[in-house]
Amino acid sequence: MTDQRLSRRDDLVRRWRATSGRGRKLRGLLELLRPYRARTALMFVMLIAGTAAALAPPPLAKVAIDDGIVPGDTGTLNVVVVAFIVSALVYWAATWAQTYLVGWIGQRVLQDLRIQLFGHLQTLSIGFYSRRQAGVIISRLTNDVQALDQLVSDGIVTLFGSSLTLLGTAAILVVLDWQLALLTFLVFPVLGIGSFAFRIISADAYRATREKVAQITAYLQETLSGVRVVRVFAQEGRHERVFSDRNEENRAANMTTVNLNAAYFPSVELLSSLVTAGILLYGGLQAIQGEVTIGVLVAFIAALNNFFDPIQQLSQLYTTYQAGMAALDKIFELLDEEPELSDRPDAIALPRLRGELVFEDVSFAYSPEGEKALDGIDLRVPEGQTVALVGSTGAGKSTFAKLVARFYDPTEGRILVDGHDLRDVQARSLREQMGIVPQEAFLFSGTILENLAFGRPDATLGEVEAAAQAVGAHDFIAALEHGYETEVGERGIQLSAGQRQLVAFTRALISDPRVLVLDEATSNVDIHTETRIEQGMRRLLADRTAIVIAHRLSTIRGAGHIVVLDHGRIMEQGTHDELLAAEGAYWRLYRDWAEQAAAA
């Protein structure tokens, strides 16, 4: 993302948060249009010109009848015909320019909004993604942004165009015959009451439709991601039923809006027909009595179409407005999310790390009222040392690693790297010097080469191959039909679990991290693959500080220091031999692992 777009995104979020109340949504919409205000102004000029041209026929018809046809003045008639043609050409040109500008501005606004949303998502903390379903977030960037398309592209033009047409037509009606105009305006209270009631009732209905669409998207994303688990447990039928229920809820929510529209819009149309019939009857009687001219009556009836059509369009626009505002509300609700962790204004960029890590009385809980995942951790990891974290499930090992990467800040205490409190450094400068290999390697769709060079996009093919050879991944990659250009598929599905893990190790090595975190990194590979990985791990861990979370005996034995965690506390620590000799918690864990390995 360019600096200009980053600045625009931050400015939009800041202005949005500075507003409140009902005007907040409209202010947010105007902020989206602000970068294109010159073209927007030109669009409104074309809109005014087109509206004026569209209003010209009724007055021209009155002049043609009363001043041309009735008295037999062909000169006046010719002038009026030319004026008709000119107004038609102006309307055509203005409408063409207006349509082009609306489309151009609308597509740019939606593009900017998607980019701004995506950029904002990159700033949010890991905790946000643990609380929100990915499908709901995706729905914000797809369904909700798309719901704004009609509002931005057509809604604004309809709003201002119909309003101008309504005001212009009202003025024409008054000029033509103020008494007939006043009779026509009597319908306003009825329309106002009906529109107000429709607005109140339909607001909740349109918000409900946005929620239901988001729920469907979330369920679809989750189900497709876990399709293998669904197949293994033969739960296709149950998922179909749940998905059908979600769609039924969505249909019911949409039917509420359909019923409201079916009741409201035909009523407006019926009312306009009744008013037109009344004006025709009353005006016809006046024309028979000679109180109004035929030209005035014809022009008045013609103008009535221009009077009720914009009312109908504005009423229909309200459905678009409700859907768009509901979507905009959800979008800016997402923009309201603030990162739980952010760099301090005076945060420093870390120099090249040596890799010393120090935990000073560190405690952490994922929620204020939750149980502590780590409690009173004091630990020093010298630069270049490999520390193995062991303990049962839930002991706090993965939490320890997340704090090292500063995905979270400690609830109490502090963590130092080379003497710098992690709260005082720029997170980017820390993570650029860290490598993390999780239990399940996540690969992006694309080629093996693109995934290997993910942390260092400027890495040469030679550097990538050298790293792959060091880790033991080169042989299997070279054996593939397209080698390093092989497509891995979504989440690396074209590769086996062991192959994906080898790619993850290579990816970490290419980025040349000073601090390395291995979170059960070899637990999903077979013995043969593990042997190859261990050979490469010696190079990967050399001269680097490493935090290794593992259950494999070979990995644990090779660590320079072992820390045993239990319920977030350090139970004991030392070398492999020291802890075995103590016959404490580590000795019992090691005995159990050894028995399991022997049984396997």
CA atoms of 400 and 565, how far apart (whole Å): 10
CA dihedral 141, 144, 150, 156 (to 10 degrees): -100
Work out the number of other CB atoms within 10 angstroms of the CB of residue 110. 17
Q: What is the pLDDT of residue 442?
A: 79
Burial 467-494 (b: 16+ CB within 10 A, else e): bbbbbbbbebbeeeeeebeeebeeebeb
Residues in the chain, overall count: 600
What type of residue sits at position 592?
D
pLDDT above 90 for 90: yes
State the average pLDDT over residues 16-22.
52
Host H or E run for residue 564: strand 561-566
Question: Which range, of 53-62, 91-100, 217-226, averages the lowest pLDDT?
Answer: 217-226
pLDDT above 70 for 470: yes
State the average pLDDT over residues 184-189.
76
CA atoms of 428 and 219, how far apart (whole Å): 33
Residues sharing a CB contact under 8 Å with residue 468, sequence separation 6 or more, in sequence order: 452, 474, 477, 502, 506
Highest mean pLDDT among 8-12, 42-46, 217-221, 275-279: 42-46
pLDDT above 80 for 65: yes
The dihedral through the CA atoms of 43, 46, 48, 54 has a sign that is negative
Contact 526, 453 (CB under 8 A): no
When pLDDT is cut at 50, 70 and 90, the band that residue 94 belongs to is very high
Find, among 489, 392, 398, the residue nearest to 450 by Cα: 489
Burial 194-233 (b: 16+ CB within 10 A, else e): bbeebeeebeebbbbbbbbbbbbbbbebebeeeeeeeeee
CA atoms of 106 and 495, how far apart (whole Å): 42
Structure tokens at 521: 């990194």
What type of residue sits at position 115?
I
When pLDDT is cut at 50, 70 and 90, the band that residue 553 belongs to is low
Q: What is the pLDDT of residue 1?
A: 44
The residue whose two tokens read 């103008």 is 303
State the average pLDDT over residues 341-370.
86
- CA 285 to chain centroid: 62
What type of residue sits at position 213?
V
Predicted model pTM: 0.65
- CA 519 to chain centroid: 30
Structure tokens at 232: 């293994």
HSE-CB at 392 with a 13 A cutoff on CA atoms is 7
Q: What is the pLDDT of residue 260?
A: 77
Host H or E run for residue 248: helix 236-288
DSSP string, 399-439: HHHHHHTTSS--SEEEEEETTEEGGGB-HHHHHTTEEEE-S
When pLDDT is cut at 50, 70 and 90, the band that residue 150 belongs to is confident
pLDDT above 60 for 9: no
CA atoms of 532 and 600, how far apart (whole Å): 20
Q: What is the pLDDT of residues 271-290, one digit of tens each?
A: 777 877 877 787 777 778 77
Work out the number of other CB atoms within 10 angstroms of the CB of residue 417. 25
Q: What is the pLDDT of residue 229?
A: 63
Whole-angstrom distance between the N-terminal and C-terminal Cα of the chain?
Answer: 51
- What average pLDDT is seen over the chain? 79
Q: What is the pLDDT of residue 453?
A: 85
State the average pLDDT over residues 576-597.
81
pLDDT above 90 for 598: no
pLDDT above 60 for 130: yes
Question: Which range, of 269-283, 526-540, 558-572, averages the lowest pLDDT?
Answer: 526-540
Residue ranges and CATH numbers for the domains of the chain are 3-335 (1.20.1560.10), 357-599 (3.40.50.300)
Find, among 56, 45, 46, 88, the residue nearest to 306 by Cα: 56
HSE-CB at 540 with a 13 A cutoff on CA atoms is 33
Q: Tell me, what DSSP letter sits at residue 492?
A: G
Q: What is the pLDDT of residue 73?
A: 80
Q: What is the pLDDT of residues 27-37, one digit of tens each?
A: 666 777 788 88
Find, among 40, 38, 33, 16, the residue nearest to 112 by Cα: 33
Give the CA radius of gyration of the chain.
35
pLDDT above 80 for 498: no
CA atoms of 185 and 247, how far apart (whole Å): 44
CA dihedral 37, 41, 47, 48 (to 10 degrees): 150
State the average pLDDT over residues 365-373.
83
pLDDT above 90 for 92: yes
